[in-house]
Amino acid sequence: MVVASIPCEDPSAIIGRVVETTLYDITNDFAHQSIKLYFLVVNTKEHRAETILKSHEYATDYLRSLVRRGSTRMDGIFNATTTDQFSSRISVVAFTRDRIKASQEHGIRQMMRQVVEEKAASLSYEQLSHEAVLGKLGSDIYNMAKKIAPLRHVGVRKSRLISIPAGVIATPAQVIEQAKAA
CATH of the domain at 123: 3.30.479.30
pLDDT at res. 173: 66
pLDDT at res. 113: 96
pLDDT at res. 182: 59
Please give the model's pTM, rounded to 2 decimal places.
0.86
Residue 182 lies in a domain: no
pLDDT at res. 145: 94
pLDDT at res. 179: 62
Residue 2 lies in a domain: no
Total structural domains in the chain? 1
- Give CA 45 to chain center in angstroms: 25
Whole-angstrom CA distances from 120 to 87, 113, 124, 130, 147 are 9, 11, 7, 12, 23
Which domain, by its residues, includes 112?
12-177
- Given CA atoms 158, 162, 165, 168 in this order, what sign does their dihedral have? positive
pLDDT at res. 180: 66
pLDDT at res. 5: 81
Residues of the chain with pLDDT under 70: 170-182
Whole-angstrom CA distances from 13 to 9, 44, 169, 176 are 8, 10, 13, 11
Q: Give 33's Cβ-side CA count (13 Å radius).
A: 4
